[in-house]
Amino acid sequence: MSEDKKVLQEFKLETDNELRFEVESKTEKVYLTLKSGLAEVFGTELVKGKTYEFTAGAKVAVFTWHGCVVEVKGKTDVVYTAKETPMVMYSNCHGALEFMRADAEKENKRGPIAMIVGPCDVGKSTVCRILLNYAVRMSRRPIFVDLDIGQGQISIPGTIGALMIERPASIDEGFSQEAPLVYHFGHKSPSTNPTLFNMLIQQLANTVKERLEVNKKTRSSGVIINTCGWIKGPGYKQLINSAKAFEVDVIMVLDQERLYNELVRDMPNFVKVIFLPKSGGVVERSKTARSEYRDQRIKEYFYGTPKNSLYPHSFDLKFSEVKIYKIGAPALPDSCLPLGMKADDHLTKLVVLTPNAGILHHILAVSFSEKDDDDIILSHAAGFVCVTNVDTDRQIITLLSPQPKPLPNNILVLSELQFMDSH
Ligand code: ADP
């Protein structure tokens, strides 16, 4: 055992304090154990005596409402106790949502639809996680919607999706990903194709509303929506569109007063807009860290996590066995537009692709669409595969897939995202 692994520190936390630590270097692991008292990590309670393992890149906050003693083993990059946290405010928001849920339950109405907005790296995803955990700990069954296509928590980057939350997030692995509803967008940022992004958001919102209709418990529990940090200009318009599509009741604005004021000005009166401070513990991510996070998410999709390994399959398919599409054609100059066609219609045009070297390492969404027409654009995804080889001579494409052959559908849609399979 190296010296570092033996490092063992004990922390006594007072009421409302938070222990924050980061696991930075690639090879390190850090182990956390609650020795006495009560504590939680982003809203999930720690079990006394159980040891939790955190791997490279983890940024963790152990918060206690009542005081506790925790033990941290292994080399942390940073470790400190914070006395100032916004947890009381987050908990008050949960209290207000809970009030609305109880009301909705009594009257068999729809519970609160809350959207969390703010710039990048202010803790939006973390606040969603805390609110969802608190809800589920009160026996609610909310829906989590993630519109953050770059750094989201549902499925792989380049998608938006929804997940029914039935139990608290696991401390080290987040929410269980059973049967998420996923729509393929195919880009890292919504600004690449705002028209398509908007259409998909409307489609996801419609499906989520249908789910609320059919499940009484979920209906009164409501929805928590995470968004991406694109909040200026067209990004702001996009937020307004998302709020409209989901018919939100509450918008929580993290950290930015300007955005808060704009939303107070532009949202109808029945939408409550609340300002919340960000936690001093939120860690900023560099461009490289964001890109590494995306790679990591895709890798986990195919290979699982250290705790839950997955074994993907690799197989060949003939070009004739698949139909590959790309969404979005090159723009035509206005003068060449066919009659009745709008200038941005090309953004949502389906283009057939013959497999070629250009799609190597790209992710392909396996569509649920039954017809090979425009339905493909708005269909949700059955799953994802990665192109690991294209043999144009033999007309064969090799795919990495979580499931063995055959694919659930032969309609595949190209993503801008790539994954280098180094296994
Ligand atoms: P956003 O969704 O706004 O981009 P995140 O919620 O993903 O921000 O937070 C960024 C990072 O900061 C995450 O790795 C998260 O685990 C970490 N983080 C959030 N809150 C805290 C905290 N109180 N202490 C330590 N790390 C935190």
Segment 329-343 shows an average pLDDT of: 65
What's the mean pLDDT when you consider all of the chain? 93
Segment 311-335 shows an average pLDDT of: 87
- What are the tens digits of pLDDT across the range 24-75? 777 678 999 999 999 999 999 999 999 999 988 889 999 999 999 999 999 8
pLDDT at res. 4: 52
pLDDT band, very low/low/confident/very high, at 251 (cuts 50, 70, 90): very high
pLDDT band, very low/low/confident/very high, at 254 (cuts 50, 70, 90): very high
- What are the tens digits of pLDDT across the range 183-234? 999 999 999 999 999 999 999 999 999 999 999 999 999 999 999 999 999 9
pLDDT band, very low/low/confident/very high, at 1 (cuts 50, 70, 90): very low
Does 339 have pLDDT greater than 80? no
In angstroms, what is the span from residue 126 Cα to ligand 1's centroid?
Answer: 6
Flag whether the ipTM exceeds 0.90: yes
pLDDT at res. 24: 76
Q: Rounded to an integer, what distance in angstroms lies between the CA atom of residue 225 and that of residue 117? A: 9
Which of these CATH numbers, 3.40.980.10, 1.10.150.240, 3.40.50.300, 1.10.10.10, describes 87-276?
Answer: 3.40.50.300
Does 177 have pLDDT greater than 60? yes
Instruction: Find out whether 125 is annotated in a ligand binding site.
Output: yes
Give the DSSP H or E segment for 326: strand 323-327
In angstroms, what is the span from residue 1 Cα to ligand 1's centroid?
Answer: 31
Segment 357-380 shows an average pLDDT of: 93
pLDDT at res. 338: 62
List the one residue out of 291, 289, 229, 284 whose CA is nearest residue 256: 229
Do 384 and 366 meet the contact criterion of CB atoms below 8 Å apart?
Answer: yes
pLDDT band, very low/low/confident/very high, at 270 (cuts 50, 70, 90): very high
Q: Rounded to an integer, what distance in angstroms lies between the CA atom of residue 175 and that of residue 153? A: 8
Question: Does the CB atom of residue 61 touch ligand 1 within 6 A?
Answer: yes
Question: Does the CB atom of residue 299 touch ligand 1 within 6 A?
Answer: no
Instruction: Find out whether 103 is annotated in a ligand binding site.
Output: no
Cβ-based neighbours of 177, under 8 Å, separated by 6 or more: 154, 155, 163
Domain boundaries of the chain, sorted by first residue: 3-85, 87-276, 310-333+343-418
Segment 368-387 shows an average pLDDT of: 92
Question: Does the CB atom of residue 331 touch ligand 1 within 6 A?
Answer: no
* Count of beta carbons in the 10 Å neighbourhood of residue 140: 22
Our mutation pick for probing the ligand 1 site, out of 77, 126, 292, counting the most ligand atoms within 8 A of Cβ, is 126
Question: Does the CB atom of residue 94 touch ligand 1 within 6 A?
Answer: no
Instruction: Find out whether 222 is annotated in a ligand binding site.
Output: no
Q: What percent of the chain has pLDDT over 70?
A: 95
Segment 320-331 shows an average pLDDT of: 88
Ligand 1, atom 5, lies closest to the CA of: 123
Q: Which residue is listed with tokens 């946290």?
A: 85
What is the topology classification, in CATH, of domain 3-85?
Answer: Jelly Rolls (2.60.120)
List the one residue out of 226, 171, 173 whose CA is nearest residue 61: 171
Q: Which long-range contacts (CB under 8 A, 24 or more apart) does 163-168 make?
A: 164/211, 164/218, 165/132, 165/135, 165/136, 165/141, 166/136, 166/141, 167/136, 168/43, 168/44, 168/45, 168/133, 168/136, 168/137
Q: Rounded to an integer, what distance in angstroms lies between the CA atom of residue 168 and that of residue 136? A: 6
Q: Which atom of ligand 1 is nearest to the CA of 254?
A: 3
Question: Does the CB atom of residue 227 touch ligand 1 within 6 A?
Answer: no
pLDDT at res. 342: 66
Which of these CATH numbers, 3.40.50.720, 3.40.50.300, 2.40.10.340, 2.40.30.330, describes 310-333+343-418?
Answer: 2.40.30.330
Lowest mean pLDDT: which of 56-60, 141-145, 146-150, 318-322?
Answer: 56-60
* Count of beta carbons in the 10 Å neighbourhood of residue 120: 15
